[in-house]
Amino acid sequence: MFAASNLNAVYGYDLYLHSTSNIWYIDLRNGGQHCFVHCKFENLSGGVTGSGIYVSLNSGSITNCQFLNLKLGVTANIAKYNYFYNCTTGLLNCRDSSNNIVHNCSTGVSAGDGSRIDSNSIYHSGASTGTGISASSGNSGSSITNNIIEGYSGSGGKGISGVADIAILGYNAFYNNATNESLADVLIDLGGDQTLSASPFVNPGAGDFSLKATGGALETAWPGAWYGPASTTNKADIGAVQKGAGVSGPPGWL
């Protein structure tokens, strides 16, 4: 669809790109300072590299976008508040992947070198044999905290799988995975991981990833409280959607 070499400061807002061709939608990996907000990329399943957005790892930012039925949702520096559905891999090598909803992706988030993966809701409805969060060989030093991972319950399915060393790990919540964690070395283990007795989501099949009124993911995130006035009593929840925020379904698309 669009590819450019060494092009800087490309901005996209309210784009809707839909195709069945075996092409990449937006390839800006050699430039920088790109930003895409409230865009939708859909139905690019052909070819080896079918992707929504592949932008510079140095300074690309992707926020409040949808990625549907793709081989690869996004590779960028920052990816926050996005929705990924039915992608082979939702997020790949992003330096900051946080507050994303990842739904029915074989690999939810694939960590890059030194990635921050925080407060994502990763769900699969089909007894997936894949991995919610993967730290592959050569991509070490990731921080993986405050994520909910559910449904990787097929043979060999894993919540978090790490061949590479993980720098910081903790306060992740798991439900219905064949294996919650299969890890190499963890340099700092914060603890706080939970194996839940029931799904924490209200109605994930219908796209509602808000948290139920009761459950272990509520007010148990690290570091344990919002930064703010001393009178603040609400604590942060694990996962992408904070209870009481009035959000159900993909953020930014209501």
DSSP 237: P
Q: Cβ contacts of residue 25 below 8 Å, gap of 6+?
A: 1, 2, 17, 19, 41, 44, 51, 52, 53
Q: What digits encode the pLDDT tens for the residues 106-145?
A: 999 998 888 999 999 999 998 899 999 998 766 678 999 9
Q: Per-residue pLDDT averaged across 10-30, rounded?
A: 71
Average of per-residue pLDDT across 29-53: 70
Instruction: Give the C-alpha separation, 64 to 101, whole Å.
Output: 10
> What is the CA 96 to chain-centroid distance, rounded?
9
Map out the domains of the chain with their CATH numbers: 2-211 (2.160.20.10)
Q: Which band of pLDDT confidence, cut at 50, 70 and 90, is reported for residue 44? A: low
What spatial distance separates the first Cα and last Cα of the chain, rounded to whole Å?
A: 27
Which region among 58-62, 154-158, 245-249 has the lowest average model confidence (pLDDT)?
245-249
d(CA 251, CA 254): 7
- Quote the pLDDT of residue 7: 67
Burial state string for 77-109 with b = 16 or more CB within 10 A and e = fewer than 16: bbbbbbbbbbbbbbbbbbbbbbbbbbbbbbbbb
| 160 has pLDDT over 90 | yes
